[in-house]
Structure 1
Amino acid sequence: MDLGRRVLEQQEPLYAEEEEMYEDEVTRLESLPTAFEEDEWTHEDLEWIIEWKVRVFTKPTLKHLDKNDDEEIRARINEAVHESNIRTKVEALTSLSGIGVPVASAILLFINPDRFTVIDKRAWNVLQETGYLRQEISDDPTVDEYLLYLGACWAIANEYGVSLRTLDRALWVLDIKEDRNSSD
């Protein structure tokens, strides 16, 4: 499989068809970055991001998240919004009970979709298959894996002149299409 601007951009309609939360995702990508920047996000916004990322694991994740008090959650989110170091942003979020690197990356996406993307096994598989990443992703991705993944995504988005969100959606779709082709 080859990646290129045309291939990446052609996946958007397929993503919209496959992703049941697509319309809400688009709306929240427009509103949440400002809400996070102005500290006007709500617990419901955070719950929606978690549901968007983990789907079937939403209730267990939220149960763990509820172990954190609201002040701690707000402090860690604000740290992720205002800290300049990416590792520190991710570590602030993952210091919260219930938040691993994949969910932290999803929160960062909605904080700043121009700078961050979501680490995902499917997307990682496509990058590995196309030679952009050499190692397999671990079952519980680390901050170092996210930094490696994010760097590869920045390079590809820059190389092909697409947004990180376009790239992320395309990688997700391309892995689904690959799974379907291999099971035929």
Structure 2
Amino acid sequence: MTLSQQLLEEREVAYEAEEDQYAEEVERLETLPLAFEEGSWTWDDLEWIVRWKMTGSPFVGKVLDDFNSNDEAFVTSQIEKAIAASSPGEKLTHLTEITGVAERMGSAFLLFMNPDRFTVLDWKAWGVLHENGYLPDEMPDNPTVEDYLLYLGACWAIANEYDVSLRTLDMALWALGGDE
């Protein structure tokens, strides 16, 4: 399969049709960026992001337990640092210092902080980019901040190349990645 604007837009529609949480996802994408900017987000918002990213995973309970073991003041501080940081790498580094938030989960937090600038690190999407020659290697089992930056750079370039939003690209790549 060769990526194109038409294919990406078609697969975005498929994502909308297949994703059970799509309506809530859209609502959260509209409300959470301002909530993060203003500092009015809640712990429930953060747990929702964790559950959203872990949809279908048998490990969601474990990750939520790990996440919930954090001190609320520490999490607040790390989120404030992430929002204030100037580079994507710094932002993600602050988030991954939170227990239960590795690079893939941190990228989900970044998406809901600023969906115009960030996308979610996902093995399905990475696989599509690798198969199409945009990423040189398969996604490592434990991706690093540097791996996310490589992935994000590829996503920025592709979104620009095909004149689609990062969110359209993200949904399309996820849908193109199938159920493997």
What TM-score comes out, normalization by structure 1 length?
Answer: 0.94
- The corresponding residue for 2:37 is 37
* Matching residue within 143, 146, 150 for 2:145: 143
CA root-mean-square deviation: 1.1
- Taking the aligned partners of 1:80 and 1:19, their CA distance within structure 2 comes to 28
Deviation string, structure 1 residues 119-174 (Cα, Å, up to 9, x no partner): 00000000001110111111111111100000000000001110000001000111
After TM superposition, give the deviation of residue 86 of structure 1 in Å: 1.3
State the partner residue of 1:172.
174
**Higher normalized helix content (fraction of residues):** 1
Off by >3 Å, runs of 4+ in structure 1: none
Q: Structure 2: how far apart are the matches of 1:45 and 1:82?
A: 19
In the alignment, does 2:99 pair up with 1:101? Answer: no
Q: 1:121 aligns with which of 94, 105, 123?
A: 123
Deviations 1:14-60 (A, max 9, x none): 10122111110000000000000000000000000000001232221
| In 2: Cα distance, 1:141 partner to 1:12 partner | 25
* In structure 2, C-alpha distance between the alignment counterparts of 1:153 and 1:119, rounded to whole Å: 10
The CA distance in 1 between the partners of 2:74 and 2:60, in whole Å, is 20
* CA distance in 2 between partners of 1:67 and 1:44 (Å): 14
Cα distance between partner residues in 1 of 2:149 and 2:12? 25
Identity %: 52
- Which blocks of at least 5 consecutive residues in structure 2 are unaligned? none
**C-alpha separation between the residues in 1 aligned to 2:165 and 2:108?**
16
Report how far residue 114 of structure 1 moved. Answer: 0.3
**How far apart, CA to CA, are the structure 2 residues paired with 1:67 and 1:174?**
35
Q: Distance in 1 between matches of 2:67 and 2:177?
A: 30
* Counterparts of 2:78 and 2:160, CA distance in 1: 30
Report the alpha carbon displacement of residue 110 of structure 1 after superposing the two structures with TM: 0.2
Select between 32-41 and 136-145 the one with higher mean Cα deviation: 136-145
Structure 2: distance between partners of 1:85 and 1:175: 28
- Which residue of 73, 79, 84 corresponds with 1:82? 84
5+ unaligned residues in a row in structure 1: which ranges?
180-184
Shift of 1:66: 2.0
Counting only pairs closer than 5 Å after superposition, residues 54-69 of structure 1 correspond to structure 2 as: 54-55=54-55, 56=57, 57-69=59-71
The answer for the alignment partner of 2:5 in structure 1 is 5
Q: Secondary structure of 1:176's partner? A: coil
1:11 is matched by which residue type in structure 2?
R
Match of 2:24? 24
Aligned length: 178
